[in-house]
């Protein structure tokens, strides 16, 4: 079986560890259910996975550093759960990942600088968590030249905005509200933020 679609049901219980046996699975979509418990470590052995959609459940626990094993992954959506712990720095190893949605969980710690290595990323949503520390400057600029949406709002981020804030060439939507940011607004030079609409 290479596709498992069970979204928008009333499915309860936890994700069984046996899911690690589906070594040909490329797409799993179980959003909008009532799943509980943790994402089992065995989940990350499905190295053919390209699309992971588990948002809108009640999953708990952490996202394993083993997420880096999913080297073919393009989509990882686990928003609107109750996940805790830090954002794995190993996401930075996923060079095919174009959409990462972690918003509205209970994730804590800092934003890993390694996320600035996700060269294919277009959507990065980390909002509505308990993230602290400063905003890494490498989230802006040509290293993430495909980035269109960046949501960091509703966290506990501190410090000044990166001086290269306007350096994201394709950025369309940027949300930084409801944090504890300080300092002055960086100068936006002519030719920067050409596609910014929000």
Count of structural domains within the chain: 1
Percent of the chain with pLDDT over 90: 92
Whole domain around residue 142: which residue ranges?
Answer: 8-24+35-181
C-alpha span between 154 and 170 (Å, rounded): 23
User: Each residue of 85-109: pLDDT tens digit?
Assistant: 999 999 999 999 999 999 999 999 9
Q: Give the per-residue pLDDT at 191.
A: 87
pLDDT in tens, the chain (198 residues): 899 999 999 999 999 999 999 989 999 999 999 999 999 999 999 999 999 999 999 999 999 999 999 999 999 999 999 999 999 999 999 999 999 999 999 999 999 999 999 999 999 999 999 999 999 999 998 899 999 999 999 999 999 999 999 999 999 999 999 999 999 999 988 889 999 999
193 in any annotated domain? no
77 in any annotated domain? yes
C-alpha span between 174 and 110 (Å, rounded): 19
1 in any annotated domain? no
196 in any annotated domain? no
176 in any annotated domain? yes
Q: Go through the chain and tell me how many residues it has.
A: 198
CATH number, domain containing residue 46:
3.80.10.10
144 in any annotated domain? yes
Q: Residue 174: enclosing H or E segment and its boundaries?
A: strand 173-175
188 in any annotated domain? no
96 in any annotated domain? yes
Q: Give the per-residue pLDDT at 139.
A: 96
């Amino acid at each position: 079986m290479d596709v498992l679609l069970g979204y928008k049901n009333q499915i309860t219980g936890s994700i069984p560890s046996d899911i690690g046996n589906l070594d040909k699975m490329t797409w799993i979509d179980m959003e909008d259910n009532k799943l509980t418990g943790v994402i089992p470590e065995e989940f990350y052995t499905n190295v053919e996975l390209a699309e992971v959609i588990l948002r809108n459940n009640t999953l708990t626990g952490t996202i394993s550093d083993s997420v880096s094993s999913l080297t073919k992954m393009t989509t990882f959506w686990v928003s609107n759960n109750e996940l805790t712990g830090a954002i794995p720095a190993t996401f930075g190893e996923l060079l095919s990942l174009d959409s990462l949605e972690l918003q509205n969980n209970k994730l804590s710690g800092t934003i890993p600088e390694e996320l600035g290595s996700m060269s294919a990323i277009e959507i990065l949503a980390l909002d509505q968590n308990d993230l602290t520390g400063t905003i890494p400057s490498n989230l802006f600029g040509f290293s993430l030249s495909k980035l269109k949406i960046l949501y960091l709002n509703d966290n506990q981020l501190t410090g000044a905005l990166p001086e290269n804030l306007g350096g994201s060439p394709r950025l369309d939507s940027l949300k930084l509200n409801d944090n504890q940011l300080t300092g002055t607004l960086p100068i936006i030079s002519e030719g920067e933020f050409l596609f910014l609409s929000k």
